Structure 1
């Protein structure tokens, strides 16, 4: 009886452990996210390869599966990794022979993060250039520039020789040019707002010119005619400028020799001008009445007798009678 009870207890304990393990396996959360990325190729990427963010390992590659012209790479990423939802994936080769890893370059920075089950399409993935592809490109370039290609008639050699002759002895000048260009770049870097504003104003000016193309062509044509006229009369213009230069020299000498008299006349002119300003009211009245007086004098002139004729009312000068009431 005791042996049977012991067997029953053992079976119950085993079943309980199995049930607990199943529940743990079903409901346990390891905190990792599964992410799938598609690459054009995945040379050097294997299950167990690192998945990194800013060079820090945040997960690993779980599975690499060919899918036609693409390669499907399944990865696990730590739940607390600050990876942006729209991140890409890049296969990084630290050196020629080192194992490669997958880099997730975009950080969340407070935005939405990469979700569990996310898929990164091939448009957002990149792989390094393989060594054999680099060698093939170099071979194609050397062949194209070699004796069977661009240098078949020695054209490339002549170009290099000419370039060497032109650059020989100009190292200091080239160095100074590069330094000046660097200074210019730093200056423009600190004035990008003014530079862009200038470019915008030039764009507006260009738009105005484009909108008034007819008037611009007309002005350009008129300027061309002016320059043609000046070109046709350049001898007369040259003589006139020469004469003007001589006259200006004489005027300068006259002013130098008569500086005192000119200053005295200018002072007198200033006094006369001040007098006119002080009596500008009377002067304005005279100028207002002068045209009428001239017209009356013209109308009073008798051309047959060559005399001025007029009529006066002397009664206007008699005193008015005083009346009392």
Structure 2
């Protein structure tokens, strides 16, 4: 017997050491988290701590603290809890123990990728509790009192409302059901297009803000529009007659266009050609419009009505020497620009120029002779009928 006692003693010591080591190892393999709840009914030490309904830890202590309840929990360190997790007391049945669930699970879309640190504390803003049965009964009692004979139905108003509603909806069940279905479809459509809807609302808000910032301008515009409307109202008979005449004119124009479609097509094509030519020669047109008024004014000033002559002083020094040396070639170049030496008109010009040079006729001012008409010749004050002569 004494030998048995001596053998059991060391075994008990070894067992105690192993148990202490297991406790220490188990403590090192768990994390803790503290949560503050407004109430913690049916939550006790040893209640489960779960994630997605799977137990991962237990409740260590439940301690009242002022108007809140502090619940300290521990869970397996191998379980990752997101840093933004919340603690929710779940009641699986009306009567029975409850458990604390940490949600959302780590890795779910929208959850934090960081993990909850060891010893973290969740405040009242990160905890939730279920509605208790007595709260439901109290709310129902308050509702019945509010709708009862001492409340909304004191004068029978609620009864009248229910009776009128029953009469109005009698036989309209199918229509009412379809209305609810259509409203459901509408809400689904709005939900699918919420970004566009909110975008349109934002743009509408900016438009209203712009109108508010330009309130006086908008008022002036509305006032002007009202004045225009008043004028149109006073002239409505004339406006009606003008619109009637315009309709008649448009009818006639339409008939004219149909009857002369081919001719109009040709005219428009020709007009298009003219427009292209004017566009290509716009630089020359600019020069003509700039120089023509001065040239016409100078021409008017050169005419001498008493003598019937154009009194001009040609600046022959500005003419090129080749023109003075060979005027017939210059004139032929104007007539035959491709080949000034070609026969025909150029030969006739050559003979005329030679004759003028031989006779020294002063009717060729570009040859260096004088201007005007010789004193022995008769003159025509009307310039051949271009202007009214003088006596």
TM-score over 0.5 for the pair: yes
For residues 264 and 126 of structure 2, the distance between their equivalents in structure 1, rounded to whole angstroms, comes to 89
For residues 69 and 301 of structure 1, the distance between their equivalents in structure 2, rounded to whole angstroms, comes to 118
Where do residues 1-325 of structure 1 align in structure 2 (5 Å cutoff)?
A: 13=10, 16-17=13-14, 20=17, 24=21, 27-30=24-27, 31-109=29-107, 110-115=113-118, 117-168=119-170, 169=172, 170-171=175-176, 173-182=178-187, 184-185=189-190, 187-188=192-193, 192=195, 194-256=196-258, 259-260=259-260, 263-268=262-267, 270-271=269-270, 274=273, 277-278=276-277, 281=281, 287-292=289-294, 295=297, 311-313=310-312, 317=365, 319-320=367-368
Report the CA distance shift for 1:236/1:17 in structure 2 as closer, same or farther (over 3 A): same
Which SS does the other structure have where 2:70 is aligned? strand
For residues 132 and 222 of structure 2, the distance between their equivalents in structure 1, rounded to whole angstroms, comes to 59
Which SS does the other structure have where 2:59 is aligned? strand
Q: Report the alpha carbon displacement of residue 131 of structure 1 after superposing the two structures with TM.
A: 0.9
> How does the TM-score come out when normalised to structure 2?
0.63
Which SS does the other structure have where 2:270 is aligned? helix
**Contact 1:86–1:114 (CA<8 Å) still a contact in 2?**
no
For residues 85 and 270 of structure 1, the distance between their equivalents in structure 2, rounded to whole angstroms, comes to 79
**Contact 1:209–1:216 (CA<8 Å) still a contact in 2?**
yes
> Structure 1: which 5+ residue stretches go unaligned?
none
Report the CA distance shift for 1:39/1:173 in structure 2 as closer, same or farther (over 3 A): closer
Q: Report the alpha carbon displacement of residue 84 of structure 1 after superposing the two structures with TM.
A: 2.7
For residues 367 and 303 of structure 2, the distance between their equivalents in structure 1, rounded to whole angstroms, comes to 31
Report the CA distance shift for 1:211/1:61 in structure 2 as closer, same or farther (over 3 A): same
For residues 283 and 157 of structure 1, the distance between their equivalents in structure 2, rounded to whole angstroms, comes to 93
What's the CA shift string for 1:12-45, capped at 9, x where partnerless? 8379548735853774434233433222222222
What's the CA shift string for 1:96-143, capped at 9, x where partnerless? 22432111114444412241x333333322211111111111111121
* Structure label with greater radius of gyration: 2
RMSD across aligned C-alpha pairs, in angstroms? Answer: 3.9
What's the CA shift string for 1:33-79, capped at 9, x where partnerless? 34332222222222332211111111222333333432232323222
**Contact 2:36–2:68 (CA<8 Å) still a contact in 1?**
yes
**Contact 2:88–2:103 (CA<8 Å) still a contact in 1?**
yes
Which SS does the other structure have where 1:48 is aligned? coil
> Structure 2: which 5+ residue stretches go unaligned?
108-112, 313-361, 370-391
**Contact 1:84–1:114 (CA<8 Å) still a contact in 2?**
no
Report the CA distance shift for 1:102/1:182 in structure 2 as closer, same or farther (over 3 A): same
Report the CA distance shift for 1:139/1:310 in structure 2 as closer, same or farther (over 3 A): farther
For residues 180 and 152 of structure 2, the distance between their equivalents in structure 1, rounded to whole angstroms, comes to 31
> How does the TM-score come out when normalised to structure 1?
0.74
**Contact 1:276–1:283 (CA<8 Å) still a contact in 2?**
no
Which SS does the other structure have where 2:80 is aligned? coil
For residues 237 and 9 of structure 2, the distance between their equivalents in structure 1, rounded to whole angstroms, comes to 126
Report the CA distance shift for 1:84/1:216 in structure 2 as closer, same or farther (over 3 A): same
For residues 254 and 13 of structure 2, the distance between their equivalents in structure 1, rounded to whole angstroms, comes to 123
For residues 140 and 197 of structure 1, the distance between their equivalents in structure 2, rounded to whole angstroms, comes to 42
Q: Report the alpha carbon displacement of residue 144 of structure 1 after superposing the two structures with TM.
A: 0.9
For residues 367 and 193 of structure 2, the distance between their equivalents in structure 1, rounded to whole angstroms, comes to 92
Q: Report the alpha carbon displacement of residue 254 of structure 1 after superposing the two structures with TM.
A: 4.0
